[in-house]
Structure formats: structure tokens, C-alpha cells
């Protein structure tokens, strides 16, 4: 049964139905209520981090998850504590601009705030604004894009999963994370332009390009075109593109624009340069003076309130007072001085965070599992820890408790799909058009899965 509260957008008040948790919509899970904190751009100030830690400690079970959309989730919210938790997070500036609804009977205000929160699915590079390699500081676009997403009542019809990626050309970006609309900065003859596409990734090439100042208008036009063309049940851009084609969506969007996007030869030839996701972990210099960032990830994307408090203190003393949550369920501390880098990495180790991309726990992804999710067929978190002790070198594995693949938006090199407790089917990424890839073996224990992986010639079948 769903844990209802005045800030949980009760259906009886007319709020739209959604199974997606949010900051104001706390939904039930096996281990208690689940509250998702959307972080447009992934940035968390130290004050906000401490507010999350305190809310998780006082209103929930103290467990916080880092998600593959660079968001946070507070788990185990206690029944009756939903309002206090959501209100504390809103007051910390972690919610939509609608603000804290003023009264428990103000159903319209709660509904509007829930909808505004649902629409804040904006992902940037975790290095946005601090990587000199970037073509454009995309943090400048966060406020204008949020204004578009939240500024028109019609956009309330968008799915809470509808997402936008804005890539400034940084050296670290989640290129394999599928989005409904993506934009990527590149050097054009007229200056910086943003290539863009639909229902895919920048690796696919661009439909067209626009100037940075035109990004908000383009986004507004594409959203209207999507809603014009979407039929009942079509909630994501990939579904509309499958019916009409991406170019048809773009042509439809043009009627909402007073300018024509660029479609010259340079745009047609453009492809996003590759990125090394191993750079999400460890110490990395960005500037000539040796300053840069330190990256880490908690085992299987989960930390406790005390660890988040400690990370906030570390960011304040050694960085610039912010944390960047990454789409790899990790965290970056930006603007760390060269002389402070070794100490920062040492402190991250003290917190039991992983900083080496070769470490087994850096190569494993696992969903919440049956301990926290009723849909999961196995305790994937516990099984992943068992697998870590046996994981062959260079194997990268995703453990999923069911077909929904909540923990991994991309297709991992290897996927273990639970079919029963301690029983998994093993899939390999290949040219299969959908799903987890090619079925390699069925009904494996964790020990048998480790042995099967050790016998495979390489961890990435299509490398």
C-alpha cells in the first residue's frame, strides 16, 4: 500500500497517477517509503548534502542511493514521516521552484509541485562548468531549460521519465545513456553550436544544430511536436520516432520556431568524440597548476547518512563546496587543488568508497534487489557482493532483479537477470536489437556465473 501524506500528491486530490517516486511523491517499497531527489545537472551543495543526510537519518532508515540519472534516493522513509522529509528537502532548495505548498489542504499546490518536480530530468556532464576542454559551460543553460520544462501547463503531460541530456563537450559524459532529447556542443564555423538528436545518444549523429541562445526555443518546439504526434500510450520520444521517424518530428517542430536549425555539411559530419568512463574514478588534473577533481563511487551505489555528511565536509575543506553526482552512481569533488589531491583520495578510501576503476566493485551494478523491491526475484545487492570476491579481471556485470533494468540505463557488457533467489540467466552484449543482449547460459548460481565469466574470452563481446 502506498504511504500517503499531505506532500505525497494523493490521487484523491486530483494529482496525476504515477509509480515514479519524487521529492513530494513518496512511494512504497519493501523496505519503506522511497523518495527520489532530482538534481538537474547533478550538483549538490554541501548544505544540501547535509540536509539530505539529516532527513535520511531522522525520517528514514539512513540509506541513500545514487542513481544512473545522477539523482539521489532516500530509502526506508517511515510511515507518517513523508511530509516532514519532503518539507525539509524542499526548504534546502532541492525541489521545484513552486516552493513548499503552504497548507495540507491545498491539493492544487501539491499537484503543481509534484508535476514540476517530475519534469526536472536534466542531465549534464559531472564536469560541467569546470572542464577547460568543454566547448560551452552548460551550467548556464540549466535555469532556462527548467523554465521551459516547468513553464507551460501542456508539458505536465510528459512522462516523469522523459529526459534531456546537454553535453558541453567535456571529457567525461554518459554517452551511452539514452535520452528523449539530447544536445551536444561543438565548434562550428559561426562559433559554438549545439548538435541535437532524438531518442538516442550523441554517438548516433545529429539531426541538426542550433546556437546556444536558441536551445530553450528548440527544446520547447520539440516538446510541442512530441505531444502533437504522441498517441495514447506513447510516453517516450523513441515510441513517437518509431512511428513517424525523427526527421518527421523535427519537421513538425519547425512550425513552432521562428528560425531554421543548421543542417549544413559540418553538422551532418559531426560525431561526438569518445569518452573514457574510467575517468569517473580517481584523481585527475584539469588545469596547468595540477588542480582538478577526485572521483569515487560507493559500493553498488549506496551510502549511509554519515558517509554523505563526511563527503560534504570533504568537499568543503578540499574542494569548492559542491558534490557532483554522476550517472555511474558515483560522486566527484571538483576544484581540488593539486596539493590536496592525495589527501582527498585517502579520505575517500577511509569512507570505503571505490576510486580505482579496475576494482571489482567499480565493475558491478546491482538494483535494489528483493530486500527493498517486491518485483525483484533475488537479493541482487547481496549477490553482487558475493560476485565481487570472484569477479574475473575486466568483467563488467549488471545484476538485475527483473526485466525492468532499473539500475542500468545502458546495456552492460554482461547482465545477470534473476529468475529466482540465487539463480540467474547470463546475457552478453552483442548486436541484438533490444533487451539485455544474447543469452549465454541459464539458471546459474553466483559461483557458476563467476566461473562462466572467467571462461569467456573477453568481458565486452562487441569490443
H-state helical runs in 230-272: 237-244, 246-253, 265-269
Q: How far apart are CA 231 and CA 252, in angstroms?
A: 15
Instruction: Give the DSSP H or E segment for 293.
Output: strand 292-296
For residue 12, the model assigns a pLDDT of 31
List of residues 6+ apart from 441 with CB closer than 8 A: 425, 426, 448, 449, 452
For residue 240, the model assigns a pLDDT of 97
pLDDT category of residue 14 using cuts at 50, 70 and 90: very low
For residue 25, the model assigns a pLDDT of 92
Query: b vs e for 293-323, b when ≥16 Cβ sit within 10 Å of the residue's Cβ?
Result: bbbbbbbbbbbbbebbbbbbebbbebbebbb
List of residues 6+ apart from 157 with CB closer than 8 A: 227
Residue 2 has pLDDT above 90, yes or no: no
Residue 74 has pLDDT above 80, yes or no: yes
> Which percentage of the chain shows pLDDT scores above 70?
92
Other CB atoms within 10 A of residue 169 CB: 21
CATH topology agreement for domains 11-114 and 277-356: yes
- CA–chain centroid gap for 13, Å, is 30
Region 367-379: mean pLDDT is 95
Strand partners of residue 188:
191
Taking only the tens place, the pLDDT of each residue in 283-310 is 999 999 999 999 999 999 999 999 999 9
Would you identify the CATH topology of the domain 135-168+176-269?
Sulfite Reductase Hemoprotein; domain 1 (3.30.413)
Residue 9 has pLDDT above 50, yes or no: no
Q: Which three cell numbers stand for residue 111?
A: 499537484
List of residues 6+ apart from 142 with CB closer than 8 A: 40, 41, 122, 124
Task: Identify the sign of the CA torsion 202, 207, 208, 213.
Answer: negative
> Which percentage of the chain shows pLDDT scores above 90?
82
Burial of residue 163 (number of CB atoms within 10 Å: 0-12, 13-18, 19+): buried
Taking only the tens place, the pLDDT of each residue in 84-139 is 999 999 999 999 875 555 545 567 777 888 889 999 999 999 999 999 999 999 99
Q: Given the C-alpha cell 546495456, which residue does it identify? A: 411
- Say what the pTM is: 0.92
Q: How far apart are CA 19 and CA 27, in angstroms?
A: 7
Other CB atoms within 10 A of residue 137 CB: 16
Strand partners of residue 354:
297
Taking only the tens place, the pLDDT of each residue in 269-281 is 999 998 999 999 9
pLDDT category of residue 204 using cuts at 50, 70 and 90: confident
Class of domain 11-114: alpha beta
Among 137, 175, 171, 185, CA closest to 292: 171
Give the range among 71-75, 241-245, 428-432 with minimum mean pLDDT: 428-432
Q: Which three cell numbers stand for residue 56?
A: 535520511
For residue 463, the model assigns a pLDDT of 38
Q: How far apart are CA 352 and CA 338, in angstroms?
A: 22
List of residues 6+ apart from 18 with CB closer than 8 A: 25, 118, 160
Q: Given the C-alpha cell 544544430, which residue does it identify? A: 209
Region 361-377: mean pLDDT is 95
CATH tag for 277-356 (out of 3.30.300.30, 3.30.70.2500, 3.30.420.280, 3.20.20.70): 3.30.70.2500
State the pairing for strand pair 32-37/72-77: antiparallel
Each domain of the chain, given as residue ranges in start order, spans 11-114, 135-168+176-269, 277-356, 363-455
Would you identify the CATH topology of the domain 363-455?
Sulfite Reductase Hemoprotein; domain 1 (3.30.413)
Per-position DSSP letters for 98-148, written without gaps between them: T-S-S-TT-HHHHHHHHHHHHT--EE--TTTTT-TT-SS-GGGGHHHHHHH
Among 255, 225, 254, 253, CA closest to 240: 225
Amino acid at each position: 500500500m502506498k504511504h500517503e501524506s499531505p506532500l505525497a500528491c494523493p490521487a484523491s486530490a486530483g494529482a496525476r497517477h504515477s509509480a515514479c517516486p519524487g521529492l513530494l511523491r513518496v512511494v512504497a517499497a519493501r523496505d519503506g517509503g522511497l523518495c527520489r531527489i532530482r538534481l538537474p545537472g547533478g550538483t549538490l551543495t554541501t548544505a544540501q548534502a547535509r540536509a539530505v543526510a539529516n532527513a535520511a537519518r531522522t525520517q528514514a532508515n539512513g540509506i541513500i542511493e545514487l542513481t544512473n540519472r545522477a539523482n539521489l534516493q532516500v530509502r526506508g522513509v517511515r510511515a507518517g514521516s513523508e511530509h516532514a522529509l519532503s518539507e525539509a528537502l524542499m526548504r534546502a532548495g532541492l525541489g521545484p521552484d513552486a516552493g513548499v505548498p503552504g497548507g495540507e489542504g491545498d491539493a492544487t499546490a501539491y499537484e503543481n509541485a509534484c508535476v514540476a518536480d517530475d519534469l526536472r530530468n536534466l542531465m549534464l556532464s559531472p564536469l560541467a562548468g569546470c572542464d577547460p576542454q568543454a566547448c560551452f559551460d552548460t551550467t548556464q543553460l540549466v535555469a532556462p531549460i527548467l523554465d521551459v520544462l516547468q513553464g507551460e501547463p501542456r508539458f505536465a503531460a510528459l512522462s516523469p521519465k522523459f529526459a534531456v541530456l546537454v553535453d558541453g563537450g567535456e571529457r567525461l559524459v554518459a554517452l551511452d545513456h539514452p535520452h528523449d532529447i539530447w544536445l551536444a556542443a561543438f565548434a562550428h564555423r559561426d562559433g559554438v553550436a549545439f548538435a541535437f538528436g532524438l531518442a538516442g545518444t550523441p554517438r548516433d549523429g545529429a539531426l541538426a544544430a542550433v546556437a546556444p541562445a536558441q536551445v530553450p526555443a528548440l527544446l520547447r518546439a520539440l516538446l510541442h511536436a512530441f505531444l502533437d504526434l504522441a498517441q495514447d500510450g506513447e510516453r517516450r520520444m523513441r515510441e513517437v520516432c518509431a512511428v513517424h521517424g525523427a526527421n518527421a518530428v523535427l519537421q513538425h517542430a519547425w512550425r513552432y520556431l521562428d528560425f531554421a536549425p543548421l543542417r549544413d555539411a559540418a553538422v551532418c559530419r559531426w560525431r561526438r568524440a569518445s569518452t573514457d568512463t574510467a575517468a569517473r574514478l580517481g584523481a585527475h588534473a584539469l588545469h596547468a597548476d595540477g588542480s582538478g577533481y577526485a572521483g569515487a563511487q560507493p559500493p553498488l551505489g549506496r551510502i549511509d547518512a554519515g558517509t554523505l555528511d563526511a563527503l560534504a565536509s570533504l568537499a568543503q575543506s578540499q574542494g569548492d563546496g559542491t558534490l557532483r553526482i554522476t550517472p555511474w552512481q558515483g560522486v566527484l569533488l571538483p576544484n581540488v587543488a593539486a596539493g590536496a589531491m592525495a589527501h582527498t583520495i585517502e579520505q575517500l578510501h577511509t569512507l570505503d568508497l571505490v576510486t580505482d576503476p579496475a576494482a571489482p566493485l567499480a565493475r558491478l551494478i546491482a538494483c535494489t534487489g528483493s530486500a527493498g523491491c517486491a518485483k525483484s526475484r533475488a537479493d541482487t545487492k547481496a549477490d553482487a557482493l558475493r560476485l565481487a570476491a570472484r569477479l574475473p579481471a575486466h568483467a563488467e556485470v549488471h545484476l538485475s532483479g527483473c526485466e525492468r533494468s532499473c539500475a542500468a540505463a545502458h546495456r552492460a557488457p554482461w547482465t545477470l537477470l534473476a529468475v529466482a533467489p540465487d539463480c540467474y540467466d547470463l546475457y552478453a552484449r552483442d548486436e541484438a536489437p533490444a533487451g539485455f543482449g544474447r543469452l549465454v547460459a541459464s539458471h546459474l548460481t553466483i559461483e557458476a556465473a563467476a566461473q562462466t565469466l572467467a571462461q569467456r574470452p573477453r568481458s565486452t563481446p562487441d569490443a
